[in-house]
Amino acid sequence: MKAAFALLLLGTGLTAHSAIAQTKTSTTKPTATAKPVSKANTTKAGTTKTSTTKPAATRTTIARPAAKPVAKPASQPAAQPATAPPPPATSNSPKLEIPGVAPQQAPSFAKGTIGVNLGIGYGYGYGYGYSGFGGSTQSSPAISLSVEKGLVEGVGPGVISVGGLLGYKSDSYKWDILGDDYKSTWSNIYIAARGAYHYNFTDNPKIDTYAGLSLAARITRFSTNYSDTYTESYGNGTSLDAGVFLGGRYLFTDKIGAFAELGYDMSYLKLGLTTKF
């Protein structure tokens, strides 16, 4: 009887234990996926003890792009205030006013200006011979070169220039009648110092008008020949010669132009080329 009761209790316990085990199996959470075995340890009993290690957490560093330097705007220079052009230079020398003479409307020859004339002159030869009755006179043009520079201003509205002139001229007279011939020749070298006053009477800055005086050394040579049998030279020498002239120049460009002069010095009339700088 006791043995039957013990078997009943054992069967009841086994049934309860089986029900409890099934209940735990249905309520437990699913197990996590086994992590890979990284290392196996062998125990003394010959059993293999498997230990799992978690993989080392890898820290991923995301490289940030380097910040580009911000380009600074180019600094612009500060705007300079507009400066007024300097006033024209004025001479400190007192000006001498000439009554009745107005200031120049277009000054064309200033202090420091240099003018050069290269010309051919006509007139003022000895030339006392005559044409007809076998006599004739020949005269070469007077060739002259003059240079002047503006030196003095303030004397009235114009400018005074000082310079010089070098010229050459020759004349000859020939007389032939009844087989007799007679020939005389003169040559003149003219070296002069000149002074002029420049005042432009017009409103055109390309025109320069002036008047002046000269004092020269005239070197004269004279020779005569009669029928190729008699030759004589006389009258050779140097003399002082004063002159007066009135002239003007017109510039075609900034520096090149033409000039004309009337007066009594090297010749009565001069025409030619001029330059001014």
Residue 125 tokens, joined: 């030869």
Instruction: Give the residue-averaged pLDDT of 11-15.
Output: 55
d(C-alpha 109, C-alpha 116), whole Å = 12
**25 vs 195, which has greater pLDDT?**
195
Whose CA is closest to 216, among 146, 134, 112? 146
Residue 103 tokens, joined: 């200031």
49-68: pLDDT as tens digits: 444 445 444 454 555 655 55
159 part of a folded domain: yes
- Residues of the chain with pLDDT > 70, as a percent, come to 55
pTM of the model: 0.58
* Cα angle for residues 142, 146, 152 (degrees, 5° grid): 145
128 part of a folded domain: yes
Domain, as residue range, for 157: 114-238+260-276
Give the model's confidence band at 235: pLDDT under 50 very low, under 70 low, under 90 confident, else very high: low
61 part of a folded domain: no
pLDDT at 36 over 50: no
- Find where tokens 């009841």 sit: 12
23 part of a folded domain: no
88 part of a folded domain: no
Q: Which residues are within 8 A (CB) of 53 and not within 5 positions of it... i.e. 6 or more apart?
A: 35, 38, 39
125 part of a folded domain: yes
> Which of 66-70, 92-96, 126-130, 158-162 is least confident?
126-130
Task: Specify whether the CB–CB gap between 185 and 170 falls below 8 A.
Answer: yes
- Find where tokens 């735990």 sit: 24
134 part of a folded domain: yes
- pLDDT of the residue at 260: 98
61-108: pLDDT as tens digits: 555 655 555 555 555 555 565 565 555 444 454 555 555 556 777 788
Phi, psi of 56 (to 5 degrees): -60, 130
pLDDT at 31 over 50: no
Domain count, the chain: 1
59 part of a folded domain: no
- pLDDT of the residue at 65: 54
Give the model's confidence band at 43: pLDDT under 50 very low, under 70 low, under 90 confident, else very high: very low
Q: Which residues are within 8 A (CB) of 102 and not within 5 positions of it... i.e. 6 or more apart?
A: 157
247-270: pLDDT as tens digits: 999 999 999 999 999 998 888 999
- pLDDT of the residue at 131: 52
pLDDT at 194 over 90: yes
Q: Taking the CB of residue 184, how many other CB atoms lie within 10 A of it?
A: 20
